[in-house]
Amino acid sequence: MPVVGDCAESIDMRYFCPIRAESAPHENAFAMTTTANLIAVLKSELKAAQMTYADLAKKLGMSESSVKRMFARGDMPLTRIDAICGALKVDFAELARRVADEQPLLAELTLAQEKAVVADKKLLLAAICVLSQWTLEQITAHYRLSEAEAIKCLVQLDRIGIIELRPLNRYRLKLAKTFRWRPHGPVMNFFREEALLDYFSGGFDQEAESLMLVHGSISKSLAPAFVERLQRVAQDFAQQHQADQKLPDRHREGYTLLLAMRSWEFEAFSRFRR
């Protein structure tokens, strides 16, 4: 479990978690993006069906100019969308899934979203679990959460915007691979106050454990390259976690990888500076 650097400025708390196996504040912006994606998907379906606006207008009993204006403005009721799906022979549910998949993934949550997550420890646990792509069954098997409690957490995470909840309590993670908690946000502050001492209290003396503290002075221009290497290690770890989910539990063990690099000097030492 390497710690490279002195402390934590570029610390990625996405990986600082147990890995084994209302409206949201952004609702208006999200709705605008969803509408734009819906129009884009419909246009894509028209193109795939080799159907022009004039062809669609005939099927809808509208003028071509009205259809063009409807697409340009992005203003159409659900009944009209349903009629377009019928004309295109496209299932509305599949269309909705495609629109959802077109949503931009979040690289960071808003302050309000993070506050909502950290306000409930069970919800924070569920958020960490979905970051690791755990299923509902895995969450309830490993933690003292009833199925009803876990589902409630998933519903809340859907409302906050972290996941898109799907049938049978499956979900799609709406966070980008580059996602990180806000550097000085509620979640990072919680882990600094509640988890760091617990993490570093271990001996790091097992066969598959390691703690390294490396200090040195290097060119400022080279520092970003080392940060990129750390990010690649973190991504490799996360990808291996995903790949190993098909293995039985007995062949997997929970590890937490903490990577950090910061321009820093221990305060007790800085007092001796000339």
Q: What is the pLDDT of residues 103-116, one digit of tens each?
A: 667 889 999 999 99
The predicted-structure confidence for 182-234, as pLDDT tens digits, reads as follows 999 999 999 999 989 999 999 999 999 999 999 899 999 999 999 999 989 98
What integer is the mean pLDDT of 168-175?
91
pLDDT tops 50 at residue 20: no
| Distance of alpha carbon 195 from alpha carbon 58, whole angstroms | 63
pLDDT for 145 beyond 60: yes
Alpha-carbon gap, residue 243 to 246, rounded angstroms: 7
Q: What is the predicted pLDDT for the residue at 141?
A: 92
Mean pLDDT across the stretch 233-242? 86
According to DSSP, residue 31 is labeled: H
Helices of type H across 51-209: 53-60, 64-73, 78-88, 92-101, 111-118, 121-131, 136-142, 147-160, 186-194, 196-200
pLDDT category at 34 given cuts 50, 70, 90 is: low
What is the number of residues in the chain? Answer: 274
Arithmetic mean of pLDDT, 58-74: 89
Domains 28-101 and 105-173 share a fold: no
Contact 88, 45 (CB under 8 A): yes
| Structure-derived torsion over alpha carbons of residues 116, 118, 121, 124, reported in degrees to the nearest 10 | 90
Residue 38 has pLDDT above 70, yes or no: yes
Closest among 235, 257, 23, 17 to 127, alpha carbons compared: 17
Percent of all residues in the chain with a pLDDT value above 90, rounded to a whole number: 42
Residue 247 has a CB neighbour count (10 Å cut-off) of 10
- What would the mean pLDDT of 31-43 be, rounded to a whole number? 72
Report the pLDDT value the prediction gives residue 31, as an integer from 0 to 100. 45
Q: Report the pLDDT averaged over residues 168-173.
A: 92
pLDDT of residue 2: 35
pLDDT at 103: 65
Q: Report the chain's mean pLDDT, rounded to a whole number.
A: 83
Q: Which CATH class is domain 105-173?
A: mainly alpha
**pLDDT at 6 (0 to 100):** 34
Could you tell me the two tokens for 272?
A: 């001796």
Q: What is the pLDDT of residue 204?
A: 93
* pLDDT, greater one: 238 or 206: 206
Does CATH number 3.40.50.970 belong to domain 28-101? no
Instruction: Please list, in sequence order, all residues whose beta carbon lies within 8 angstroms of the beta carbon of residue 40, skipping any fewer than 6 positions away.
Output: 102
Each domain of the chain, given as residue ranges in start order, spans: 28-101, 105-173, 194-270
Residue 251 predicted with pLDDT over 70: yes
pLDDT confidence of residue 52: 92
Q: In a 3-state reduction of DSSP, which class is residue 135?
A: coil
Which stretches of 22-102 are DSSP H helices? 27-48, 53-60, 64-73, 78-88, 92-101
pLDDT over 60 at 127, yes or no? yes
Spatial distance between the Cα atoms of 218 and 18, rounded to a whole number of angstroms = 33
CA distance linking residue 48 with residue 71, whole number of Å: 17
Q: Which one-letter amino acid corresponds to residue 111?
A: L
pLDDT of residue 148: 96
Among 16-30, 46-60, 73-87, top mean pLDDT goes to 46-60
**How many Å apart are CA 127 and CA 154, to the nearest integer?**
8
